[in-house]
Amino acid sequence: MPRRVWIVLDVVVLLICLGAAVASWRGGLESIRFLVVEDQPAFTAVRYSGPWVALAALLVAIAGLAVIDLVARCVARSR
């Protein structure tokens, strides 16, 4: 395949992974509001769902590899 196709593919993978990482991170957060109870003040707690947060981390790692590959291909192309 031509080098240009690989560069475009890297950009597409990067954008898809980052978009999916944001969506999965938001899916992994659950805000729970607690009301005032006797002497305790009202507060909001955040619950993290492990599988969704792990998926977001994996997608960010894949996007990072795509960036590294993209930079390597662009530098090699300019030489």
Would you state the pLDDT for residue 20?
A: 97
As a whole number of angstroms, the longest Cα–Cα distance in the chain is 70
| pLDDT reported for residue 79 | 66
> Nearest 5°: CA angle at 64, between 72 and 73?
15
Rounded to whole angstroms, how far apart are CA atoms 74 and 18? 20
pLDDT band at 76 (very low <50, low <70, confident <90, very high): confident
List, for residues 3-51, the tens digit of each pLDDT value.
889 899 999 999 999 999 999 999 999 999 999 998 999 999 999 999 9
Output the pLDDT for position 48.
94
Tell me, what's the pLDDT at 16?
97
